[in-house]
Amino acid sequence: MTHFKKVKDSQVDMSELMLPSHSNFNGKIHGGYVLSLMDRIAFACASKHSGAYCVTASVDTVDFLKPIEIGELVTMKASVNYVGNSSMVIGIRVEAENIRTGAIKHCNSSYFTMVAKDENGKSLSVPGLRLTNDDDIRRFAKSIKRNKMTINRKKEFHETDFSSEEYVHLLENYKVKIEK
């Protein structure tokens, strides 16, 4: 019999003040640092849901919508959006708050696929997900749709022959110069 957990039972919030040591030469927080924080919260959320050690299997598109400044308080919110047999899709929302003005901006969102592992590195079955509101249902359904799009993209990419003669016409409107 499958055990089920509510989405809210595994949700994790994490906040961190952005320091000069996290910034690039332009005074903005390194995207790589933000990705590292996102990976940590995805691990915490997935481990909380599964009760096991989890590894990152993939990261869906990460679009950096707005830069994060030194001195802002970054808050990340993670929840389990989808579960498979041993995998979980963790939805993460990143917001930055100007602590002087209280202004909050949405900086990015992403989806991390995490897999539960046992002590020997073998995949473990994870609890099912109990959906209790419209947001839970919408997030689960969108995860199914994203997964199907990923499968179709991979299939199309692997089935396509990318010989240069056949595809050179695709490059006509791009900033390239072909020299053979």
pLDDT in tens, 32-77: 999 999 999 999 999 999 999 999 999 998 999 999 999 999 999 9
For β-strands 87-97 and 73-83, DSSP reports them as antiparallel
Distances (CA, A) of 66 to 23, 78, 147, 154: 14, 19, 26, 29
| Coil vs helix vs strand at 21 | helix
Is this prediction's pTM over 0.85? yes
pLDDT, mean over the chain: 93
Average pLDDT (79-91) is: 97
Q: Is the pLDDT of residue 105 over 90?
A: yes
Q: Percentage of the chain with pLDDT > 90? A: 80
Q: Are 127 and 5 in contact (CB under 8 A)?
A: yes
Give the pLDDT band of residue 143 (cuts 50, 70, 90): very high
Tokens, residue 136: 């839970």
Tokens, residue 100: 């002087």
Domains and CATH numbers, the chain: 4-130 (3.10.129.10)
pLDDT at 48: 98
